[in-house]
Chains A and B, each alone.
Chain A
Amino acid sequence: MKNLFATGIAALALCAGSPAFAEYPNDGNITFVIPYSPGGGFDTIVRQFAPALEAAMGTTVIPENISGAGGARGGQAVHRSDPDGYTIGVYNIPGLTVNEITGREQGFALDEVTWIANIAVATYGLAVPADGPDTVEELCSGDSPAKFSDTGATSTASVTTRISMAIIGCDIVDVTGYKGSSDAMVAVISGEVDATIKPISSLAKYTAGGSGDLKLILTLTENQVIDGVPSATDIGHPELAKFTLNRVIGGPPGIPDDVVAKLEDGLRQASESDAVKSWADGAGVTIDFKGAAETKAMMSDLASFYADYKDLVSMPQ
């Protein structure tokens, strides 16, 4: 009897499910999960993309904030939803990648996620006070280790700081615990710490062109992106360009390929829309669209890259 009941439910689910695939996305609203509270970087980019995505897909897109556990709760919610293309989410990458490498249980595996697209990327820069050292070499030549400021020990910026400075061979103390990246940057301005590594777009409001309180002395990029500021390649460590902050879109495991293709196309159109472009220009966000296949490759690439530095990633203070 129980089996019969279960089969009945399954059959009903199939009946209800199949036409939805056929007509996708005309069968309802798309829920776009944001793994952080309203107002932050993840929230802003999704809310800016939502209207353009809506226009491209021809259905309503509802951003939903499911915050907590460093972005893992939002990821879990997406993971548990039906793979029908009506629930997608933005993922905290490489934060979740680092969690996984350090063996922290987060309720789902990143390699099971159906990757749909990468919509934006942020590159990092190393900043010191305006009257601070001019080169990384000078910064690292002091008697005691150079002090850096960061938010949490598992934040992407902190992991980036520890690994990249170890690669360069610079002895540092990463002072974590600042409440936000603005606090961490102000700690450099007030002279509480010596330097910080943060997205170049976030540093911009304090560096030349902004208030001029901070000075960029290195960008973790392959090529020089700011005149006169050396890139990672310039100092002989092109691998540092691997450290980026990505806004990656994914869905639950098993979304059919045609649905993924439609979502990928919708996100591509949204990223090319005038509204998103003009917002990105004003907010200093770099739109960097990558399709599903490319995003999947990038994610496995990132996993093996961070796995190489497992010891540094999980290093407690």
Chain B
Amino acid sequence: MGLDALLEAFLAVLNGGSFLYLAAGVILGLAFGVIPGLGGTTALALLIPVTYTLDPLDAMYLAGGVMGATSFGGSISAILLNTPGTAPNAATTFDGYPLSRQGKAGLAIGASATASALGGLIGLFTLLLFIPVAREVVLSFGQSEFFLLTVLGLAAIAVSVRGKLLRGLVAACIGLLLAFVGANQFTGDTRFTGGIDYLWDGIPLVPALTGLFAISQMIELALKGGSVAEDGLSAVKMKITGVGSGILSVFRHWTVLLRGSLIGTVIGAIPGLGGTVAAFLAYSSTAQTARDRDTFGTGNIKGVIAPEAANNAKDGGSLIPTVAFGIPGSAETAVFLGILVLHGMEPGPAILLYNEREIYGLIVALTVSAVFASIIGLLLSRVLVLITQIDVNIVVPVVVTLSLTGVYVLEGRMADVLLTVLIGIFGYLMIRFDYPRLTLVIAFVLGETAERAFHQVRLISDGQVVEYMLSRPVSVILILAIVVTFFLPAMRKLPQIRRRLAGGR
């Protein structure tokens, strides 16, 4: 059944016309990915009117091309400028940027490109395996599981702060405070809006992230002067540092790749969590369990592989709820659903029966574009690393202009631009006083879901929250995972303590 449609979709790509749409999507996706503030969601939203006149299958190739390429595009700016091109690339800055500063940008980009392409392939392969059981997977995740997943994410913050626990907690609390701005889902009351109706829907994610990462980083660069790469690293040296060894590193660390991809697929399949959470969980779980965990954050290549694999794998995963129930698994698939509706396809369980051709077309488009984008990225990487050599007096104005334009384009609101600048200044103060920005972001992203899901569980369980959670198998597994996350650092110290005790005897 499905295989015929899959084969047909692959053959259609070989036909020049369809490939043209796919290639256009990939190039657009790469460009929107590289520019901070823009991203797949913006690109797809802008494409909606364009796809109007297209054949549904061609619209899928165009949309799939964009969705497959943005995440790799975003990793390029994360690695080279410490400015994630799209929100999920934030975790890539941890180790990607230190590598750039050491003159190993080529290594990081090579690894990122390969991890993105392979992660995408693994994610889509998992999707194909999943489709028959998609229903059960989606139905087994309720509000109780959502809540526990957010707690797991928040618990992982402890890992991300690394020796700056107090500062990390302060940043996380600010993130939670920001998450609670806006209308309360349960009473309809508005909170912390200061009478500004712009804040009714809460603090919008894209302006907040663009300010916190892109603008703040540009302020830092502008004040520092010079160029991104540390002094004394010549362009020649940058070039020699191998893209090839970056590619090989992914195969050397294949378990990291596999783990990242699986986390990406699973998180992607759960509606409401999205790529940022997927990439971060992949990073933190890799950092937590690695033998050389002390080198994470200082330029460990595994810190680039894990989040990038997860980021691309989540595209496949997020199609599971979209295909099975018409529920978007990510912001991108939400806009993508709009494209489906415009083309007369009713999202939901019936879509696989009646629109097999288009859905498999999309799967093919995502697969090909993930690989295609990485190849283009690898070909350009030698030129791209030169960005780190450019004078900041050129880099800063260009990035600031592009990212503020991107924020404006998304909803056409000037208030978004203002918010981006304000949060950018705040973000710079965080850099200046050494408070972790990612911690704030994780708490900000998870806070809203955590609050909402908790209240829902409370209502659903008639106030018997704990009993209700313990009666659900998936919840129990998540509770165990949370307990392990909390105690892992202590458990690691056990051998040391024992040794010390033995030595003292």
A179 within 8 A of B: yes
A109 to B348, CA, bound (A): 38
- 1/0 per residue, CB under 8 A from A, across B134-172: the answer is 000011101100000000000000000000000000000
- Give the 6 A-B residue pairs with the shortest CB-CB distance, closest first: A39-B338, A316-B187, A153-B188, A69-B200, A154-B188, A205-B348
Could you write out 9 A-B pairs with CB less than 8 Å apart? A37-B45, A68-B197, A153-B187, A177-B185, A182-B325, A182-B327, A183-B271, A186-B139, A283-B341
Name the A residues within 8 Å of B335 (CB-CB). Answer: 37-39
CB pair A68–B142 under 8 Å, yes or no, is no
Report B447 CB to chain A, min CB distance, Å.
14
CB pair A211–B197 under 8 Å, yes or no, is no
Q: Which of A72, A193, A213, A282 is within 8 Å of B200, CB to CB? A: A72
Name the A residues within 8 Å of B382 (CB-CB). Answer: none
CB pair A206–B411 under 8 Å, yes or no, is no
The stretch of A86-94, A99-107, A237-245, A249-257 that contacts the partner chain:
A99-107
The stretch of B27-35, B241-249, B361-369, B456-464 that contacts the partner chain:
B456-464
Most chain A beta carbons < 10 A, residue from B48, B185, B327: B185
Known interface pairs A192-B460, A279-B344; A72-B197 also in contact (CB < 8 Å): yes
CB pair A147–B183 under 8 Å, yes or no, is no
CB pair A44–B201 under 8 Å, yes or no, is no
- 1/0 per residue, CB under 8 A from A, across B445-460: the answer is 0000000110110011
CB pair A186–B138 under 8 Å, yes or no, is yes
With CB as the reference atom, state the residue of chain A lying closest to B142: A192
A107 to B197, CA, bound (A): 9
Name the B residues within 8 Å of A106 (CB-CB). Answer: 197
CB pair A317–B460 under 8 Å, yes or no, is no
A residues 251-301 near B (Cβ < 8 Å) are 279, 282-284
A65 within 8 A of B: yes
A187 within 8 A of B: yes
Chain A interfacial positions (CB closer than 8 Å to B): 37-40, 43-44, 47, 64-70, 72-73, 102, 104-107, 144, 147, 152-154, 173, 175-180, 182-183, 186-187, 189-190, 192-193, 205-206, 210-211, 213, 279, 282-284, 314, 316-317
Q: Which of B143, B188, B338 is within 8 Å of A316, CB to CB? A: B188
CB pair B459–A152 under 8 Å, yes or no, is no
B356 within 8 A of A: no
Name the A residues within 8 Å of B139 (CB-CB). Answer: 186, 189-190
Most chain B beta carbons < 10 A, residue from A38, A193, A282, A316: A38
B189 within 8 A of A: yes
Besides A152-B188, A179-B271, 13 new A-B residue pairs in contact (Cβ under 8 A), listed by A number: A38-B45, A38-B338, A39-B48, A69-B197, A72-B200, A152-B183, A177-B453, A186-B139, A187-B142, A206-B349, A210-B348, A211-B348, A317-B186
Known interface pairs A39-B335, A47-B342, A186-B327; A317-B187 also in contact (CB < 8 Å): yes
A215 to B115, CA, bound (A): 45
CB pair B337–A282 under 8 Å, yes or no, is no
A179 to B273, CA, bound (A): 12
Name the A residues within 8 Å of B183 (CB-CB). Answer: 70, 152, 154
With CB as the reference atom, state the residue of chain A lying closest to B415: A68
CB pair B350–A210 under 8 Å, yes or no, is yes
CB pair B197–A316 under 8 Å, yes or no, is no
Name the A residues within 8 Å of B455 (CB-CB). Answer: 177, 317
B residues 362-411 near A (Cβ < 8 Å) are 411
